[in-house]
Structure 1
């Protein structure tokens, strides 16, 4: 039985959800390799939830994403591809998470340093892929902290905003847990009125305006984050008072090595198991070199990453998303 949530969103029983997921798989048809990996049950479920469990609409949305990923190849993006966009810290993944274990992405519009829509979207996609791979287990969503200190209207582009909304809503559905607009000035209000129609109603409900002078806002931030970790700019007491491009570049390059190793391990699996078809590779391919519990796993990841670096930049073409944490069996 399905029940209505807030009068607009259906919540289905687990068996009904599984049935819907299977219907989507049937409609999509046979797929293999990177697309099969992308279309895990968890991934399909997000597209169904984004379309209120309407199979036809979810299939259309998912097919559009598969086409986009084949053309855009977000899984192939590496730090050196987008480093010029990242220099000022206009978007970065924080070194802390919220109390629910959600990855936190910080955005500072006043730090915008380029005018290239293509470059800005490429960097956005890189940040999303990186944030996803750093999600805690069983966590699908992330938090955006948007710092408006020093903001003026020249820092944002309506064209980039529209494209950002398109990419995030259409190709990363149900990834947003919360967006906090911190100390947004009055001058932002007219832009918000123009930009808001580009967002779906369920997305706008996740957008919260927070003000440092408001006790209720401060209480909300304390409920969401450990104040000892939260940056000072957001009312916290964390030691990280600013963005260090050299330190951040090092973090991202380390993540890139792990990703390169993952892609090559998956490619190796399919090369030796062509009969696997649409089956996901076993959980042994899950890559966690920081706490794998196995020296051999870490050594293998290290050697594969080195091989990737020596492979003239040719890496396995495998889609990203929740596939970075492969289940040992279908969910």
Structure 2
């Protein structure tokens, strides 16, 4: 079953995304892809379907909008203020299912990217996930879903996020940095 899942996963688009993620360095892209295939064999994200775990997102913390963005990309809406939810792997399962489901909504021949809208209204230290969980999610996104981000909009992020962003943004790849947008309560309409 893993072999069939790997075959379905390893498309021309997958190879291109992994090569782009590693600046067209074949050795680095191959290593990254092999690590993803091992991860996929262990965690089986291909077996996750949004319908199977819909109840985990019933609070409205994470879901896929019915309409795409202006560029035609699927939009994933995340509301971190609704708590970090169930213990264990439930959080990454929701995230993985959202990525897989929105990926299946991509128009054939499109850039295979999606838009993330992260609504931080009401977010605070009481409902934020442990840093270990945040790092695990970041690792999954970076290492196993490369080149899937078309745009990420952070709506009303906490002040600490803005401070951290200013500190780390010079070290982030310019292509990734240009995809991130921060909107505060003071941002003009249509920004």
Matched, 1:205 2:178: yes
Matched, 1:126 2:113: no
**CA 1:36–1:90 in structure 2 vs 1: closer, same or farther (change >3 Å)?**
same
**CA 1:138–1:166 in structure 2 vs 1: closer, same or farther (change >3 Å)?**
same
Give, in whole Å, the separation in 1 of the partners of 2:163 and 2:126. Answer: 13
Could you tell which deviates more after superposition, 201-210 or 134-143?
A: 201-210
1:154 to 126, 145, 166: 126
Q: Deviations over 1:97-130 (max 9, x none)?
A: 1111000000101112525241101111111111
Matching residue of 1:137: 108
Matched, 1:38 2:9: yes
Give, in whole Å, the separation in 2 of the partners of 1:162 and 1:154. Answer: 18
Matching residue of 2:151: 178
- TM-superposed deviation, 1:33: 2.8
Matching residue of 1:313: none
SS in structure 2 of the partner of residue 181 of structure 1: strand
Query: Which sections of structure 1, spanning at least 5 residues, go unmatched?
Result: 1-30, 221-331
Q: Deviations over 1:133-178 (max 9, x none)?
A: 1112322000000111111123223111111111111111000011
SS in structure 2 of the partner of residue 71 of structure 1: helix
**CA 1:39–1:206 in structure 2 vs 1: closer, same or farther (change >3 Å)?**
same
Q: With the length of structure 1 as denominator, give the TM-score of the two structures.
A: 0.51
Give, in whole Å, the separation in 1 of the partners of 2:95 and 2:83. Answer: 12
Q: With the length of structure 2 as denominator, give the TM-score of the two structures.
A: 0.86
Could you tell which deviates more after superposition, 154-163 or 176-185?
A: 154-163
Give, in whole Å, the separation in 2 of the partners of 1:191 and 1:111. Answer: 22
Contact 1:161 1:195 (8 Å CA) reproduced: no
Matching residue of 1:227: none
Contact 1:153 1:188 (8 Å CA) reproduced: no
- TM-superposed deviation, 1:183: 1.5
Structure with bigger gyration radius? 1
**CA 1:193–1:160 in structure 2 vs 1: closer, same or farther (change >3 Å)?**
farther
Matching residue of 1:9: none
Q: CA RMSD in A?
A: 2.7
Matching residue of 2:79: 108
Contact 1:158 1:195 (8 Å CA) reproduced: no
Matched, 1:94 2:68: no
- TM-superposed deviation, 1:34: 2.6
